[in-house]
């Protein structure tokens, strides 16, 4: 599915805004939204706030001995969970974001390092 193309009016508006170095939110060209990173009480947990966008991240690790049949190999397990995000993305028309997320997931599945991946939208 393709994203909806811009009308000529929207295109001219965007090009003029870029040319004049204007943003709709009032920031200057090189101004960034405020970023805040808060670390939770659990190890590996953090909340990242970028403007009004908030993301919760959780990382964990477990070391286990390799199998006797393959003593020089190991496994890294990645799990990506997007809580209720898919519905919000679709409502906002963020098809490109969904496609790029799935592309990253597929690349992780196909890499040569025996990385197991799991993706779920909840």
Classify residue 77: in a domain, yes or no.
yes
Average pLDDT over residues 23-39: 83
pTM across the whole model: 0.46
Classify residue 21: in a domain, yes or no.
no
Classify residue 4: in a domain, yes or no.
no
- From residue 108, alpha-carbon distances to 25, 61, 70 in Å are 36, 18, 22
What is the structure's pLDDT at 1?
45
Classify residue 55: in a domain, yes or no.
no
Nearest to 81 by CA among 101, 51, 103: 101
Classify residue 34: in a domain, yes or no.
no
Classify residue 39: in a domain, yes or no.
no
- pLDDT value at 26 more than 70: yes
Classify residue 106: in a domain, yes or no.
yes
Domains contained in the chain, number: 1
Classify residue 76: in a domain, yes or no.
yes
Backbone phi and psi for residue 9, each to the nearest 5 degrees, phi listed first: -65, -45
Domain that holds residue 85: 62-122
Residues in the chain: 122
pLDDT tens digits for range 33-43 = 888 999 888 88
């Amino acid at each position: 599915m393709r994203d909806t193309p811009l009308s000529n009016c929207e295109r001219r508006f965007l090009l003029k805004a870029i040319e004049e170095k204007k943003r709709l939110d009032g920031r200057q060209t090189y101004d960034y939204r405020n970023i805040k990173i808060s670390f939770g009480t659990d190890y590996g947990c953090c909340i990242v706030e970028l403007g009004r966008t908030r993301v919760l991240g959780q990382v964990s690790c477990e070391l286990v001995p390799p199998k006797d049949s393959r003593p020089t190999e190991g496994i890294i397990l990645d799990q990506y969970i997007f809580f209720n995000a898919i519905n919000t993305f679709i409502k906002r028309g963020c098809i490109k974001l969904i496609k790029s997320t799935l592309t990253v997931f597929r690349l992780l599945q196909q890499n040569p390092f025996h990385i197991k991946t799991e993706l779920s939208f909840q």
